Structure 1
Amino acid sequence: MARRWLSALITSPLLLGLAACQSEPPQTAGQSAAAEAQIATLPDDPDPALWVLKDDDTTIYLFGTVHILKPGLLWFDEAIKDAFDESDELVVEMIEPDPAAMMKIVGDLAIDKSGVSLRDKLNTEDRAAYEAAMTSLDLPVNAFDPLDPWFASVSMSLVPLVKNGYDPNSGVEDALTGSAKSRNMKIIGLETPEQQLGFFDNLPEDVQIRFLNFNVNSIGDMAAGMENMVAHWANANIAALAELMNAGLEEKILYDTLLSNRNANWAEWVDQRMDQPGTVFMAVGAGHLAGDASLQAQLAKRGFRTKRIKY
């Protein structure tokens, strides 16, 4: 299961909750984000948003994904399936490594090297809240002591999702890569696992601890928040997704690390790929295709016009 958690941990929309971990108290940031986002209902027929970029001999479809879902959600049909079937290449954020490589990456980047226990990095009040949250999840309070705060935080945040029926093996990328492999399609990763882990491992420790404290205070709302996010994704509510997934990125280090720089890099990749003929299905986290700093906005700066496919 650890291998499958890599995509969920690193590219999960939950990680954009890091954006709320600014200088204000974590619970205030969480309440602010929740207040702004409307509540959605999961439709009987999910139709997530899809865009296309074309020139005379190149077509690139842009599809926003959710990296961890409940089994049985039927989204891979209609225009999405048609676009995928037309494509020669699948592009995803990251190609998952084999289990041995995964464990080495985690050991190198996610395990604390300072010799200071995770709980010993927390002040008295935050430590008490953290230990209470771990107990509420039926986890030993010392389970994540050897880990960096960011990795402990995202690991903790996935537990209530799994308990509520979400499956790291049921994400959008799993379905797409499985279908691509069955067709012997070329599969390209925009980033390496080391890069994606490094985005968070390189954050200052105080930012990582704010992230941890935010998730501790939000642990009881994780499952409901994920339900709402998936419903907005399934309804193609792009503006609501932008609020939920990209709100609060005013802190420059978070904005640049998680969103702006990555979208700019991906726009450069698309720009270069448009010089080659073929049809590409590009699937990245839905938060990257929503908001003012979206991949589409970055492409527009380069003179490209993406079109929303209505279906």
Structure 2
Amino acid sequence: MKAKQFFRATAAGLTLFALQACSTLPDEAAVAAVAEEAAAELAAERGPALWKVADEDTTIYIFGTVHALPAEVDWYSGPVKAALDSSGSLVTEVDMTPEVLASMGQTIAAKGMFNDGRTLRGVMTDEQQAKFEAGIAKLGIPAEALDPLEPWFAAINIAQILLQSAGYDGENGVEKVLEATVAEGTERVALETVDFQLSIFDELPMENQIAFLLQTVEDPQAGIAMLDSIIAEWAEGDAEALGNMLQEANASDPLVTARLFHQRNANWAGWIDERLDTPGTAFMAVGAGHLAGENSVQDYLGQRGISVSRIQ
């Protein structure tokens, strides 16, 4: 339970990074930023994977995104920009328009905070509480600050704070950039609702949520280092290496992996299949982890007899 388990928490946090404004933890809890040379190395990489599905009158570009990035990573150019410019629809995991993002606070509070008198440490055994308090003390975060949060939401809050401290910013995330640069009048399509994304974690059994949280606080700095490596593979466009890293990181909890990745990948392949019945061009931007490794979106498309070609 080292770096790869922390990555699972950061992956969940990145899935919901657009919601970071609702984090309940203080900024002073952040740990030291990653070295400047690491960011420079990421900036030098080019070519995140871009895929295409097409028939005689429909084209769907599929781009693997990262929901938060260091400012120095430059990916928006070449085939990616050309594909977006040619598309009449921008398809994202959830609605990323500013109006919708601004209204998410109540939904998050209802899902992520206890409202029945329980507390975070109160749902733990003595052994779990001791492990949690020891881990959180190393991060300089007061344990009582997390008590109102359900375990899964506490884990994501911690991961987000650490990501921000390491230079990862949701404002630099791919979806935010796409939303800011897409042509006026482009149709917006959301594959899921915020309520559905939150339920992926909120409906996990309590024991899975607690394990998720304890893994997050065990070795966060090693997890950040692993995430740096994953981002570098994404920026370079090495889908095979990215898939191998994600496969290893996700192996420890099949239930979370199935809910966070496999079930959604199958759903999105179904959406693409149906969308091919409508003429036009669409740009689909979803987390890069869904387009790499076993049971990826491409795998489920293949099961439907749909060919996918890589164009970057």
Query: TM-score with structure 1 length normalisation?
Result: 0.83
Please tell me whether the aligned partners of residues 11 and 285 of structure 1 are also in contact (alpha carbons under 8 angstroms): yes
Q: Percent identity?
A: 38
SS at match of 2:154: helix
Q: 5 Å matches for 1:9-158? A: 9=13, 11=15, 42=42, 44-96=44-96, 98=100, 101-158=103-160
1:245 is matched with 246
Runs of 5+ consecutive residues of structure 2 not aligned to the other structure: 1-10, 18-40
Please tell me whether the aligned partners of residues 10 and 196 of structure 1 are also in contact (alpha carbons under 8 angstroms): no
The change in CA–CA distance for 1:92 and 1:117 in structure 2 (over 3 A counts) is: same
| 1:154-183 Cα deviation digits (max 9, x unpaired) | 111111211121112110110011112x53
Please tell me whether the aligned partners of residues 161 and 222 of structure 1 are also in contact (alpha carbons under 8 angstroms): no
Q: Report the AA paired with residue 210 of structure 2.
A: I
| 1:131-154 Cα deviation digits (max 9, x unpaired) | 233333332221111111000001
- What is the alpha-carbon distance in structure 2 between the residues aligned to residue 273 and residue 103 of structure 1? 31
Shift of 1:12: 5.7
Alignment partner of 1:164 out of 152, 166, 189:
166
Q: Report the AA paired with residue 15 of structure 2.
A: T
The change in CA–CA distance for 1:99 and 1:290 in structure 2 (over 3 A counts) is: closer
Please tell me whether the aligned partners of residues 132 and 217 of structure 2 are also in contact (alpha carbons under 8 angstroms): yes
- What is the alpha-carbon distance in structure 1 between the residues aligned to residue 149 and residue 254 of structure 2? 25
2:178 is matched with 176
- What is the alpha-carbon distance in structure 1 between the residues aligned to residue 197 and residue 218 of structure 2? 25
- What is the alpha-carbon distance in structure 2 between the residues aligned to residue 220 and residue 150 of structure 1? 19
| Greater Cα shift, 289-298 or 250-259 | 250-259
Q: Report the AA paired with residue 237 of structure 2.
A: A
Please report the RMSD computed on the Cα atoms of aligned residues, expressed in angstroms. 2.1
Shift of 1:211: 0.4
Q: Report the AA paired with residue 242 of structure 2.
A: L
| 1:30-68 Cα deviation digits (max 9, x unpaired) | xxxxxxxxxxx6361421011111111100011101111
SS at match of 1:46: coil
Q: Report the AA paired with residue 131 of structure 2.
A: A
Runs of 5+ consecutive residues of structure 1 not aligned to the other structure: 1-6, 14-40
Please tell me whether the aligned partners of residues 90 and 185 of structure 1 are also in contact (alpha carbons under 8 angstroms): yes
Shift of 1:281: 0.6
How many residue pairs get aligned? The number is: 276
The change in CA–CA distance for 1:243 and 1:124 in structure 2 (over 3 A counts) is: farther
Query: TM-score with structure 2 length normalisation?
Result: 0.82
Q: Report the AA paired with residue 232 of structure 2.
A: A
